[in-house]
């Protein structure tokens, strides 16, 4: 599970009922990675504080002063915390898929077995 700090998008503005995000990484040496994730907004005070503190305390390039995005503290309504729980991870050397995920027989689409 990961957390992402966003700025500027109002919570719930056109957000789908079953939200998902896709994140990718590329390096100049052509290494790539992709994470397909379920996404969930988290708006409680302790979580907002924890994520703010994590970004503030981490070493660059992961960490930074969150105030550079225009917020004074974690309570700013423009600060949005998004929890991302991966269901598929892929690199050039292989891939992992959460056991409850199956791909459609026609390809492409993923379904959750519940």
- Upstream peptide bond of 21 is cis (omega within 30 degrees of 0): no
| Residue pLDDT, tens place only, 37-68 | 998 888 899 999 999 999 899 998 888 888 88
3-state helix vs strand vs coil in the chain, percent to 5: 15, 40, 45
Is pLDDT larger for residue 82 or for residue 35? 35
pLDDT number for residue 103:
66
pLDDT number for residue 113:
45
| Residue pLDDT, tens place only, 4-46 | 556 555 555 555 556 888 999 888 888 899 999 998 888 899 9
Q: Domain map of the chain by residue range?
A: 2-9+20-96
For residue 89, the number of C-alpha atoms closer than 13 Å in the C-beta half-sphere is 9
């Amino acid at each position: 599970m990961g957390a992402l700090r966003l700025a500027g998008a109002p919570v719930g503005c056109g957000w789908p009922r079953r939200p998902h995000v896709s994140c990718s990484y590329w390096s100049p040496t052509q290494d790539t990675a992709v994470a397909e994730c379920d996404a969930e907004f988290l708006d409680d005070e302790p979580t907002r504080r924890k994520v703010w503190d994590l970004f503030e305390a981490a070493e660059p390039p992961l960490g930074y002063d969150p105030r550079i995005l225009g917020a004074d503290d974690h309570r700013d309504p423009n600060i949005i915390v998004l929890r991302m729980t991966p269901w598929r991870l892929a690199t050039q050397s292989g891939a992992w898929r959460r056991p409850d995920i199956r791909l459609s027989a026609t390809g492409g689409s993923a379904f959750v077995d519940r």
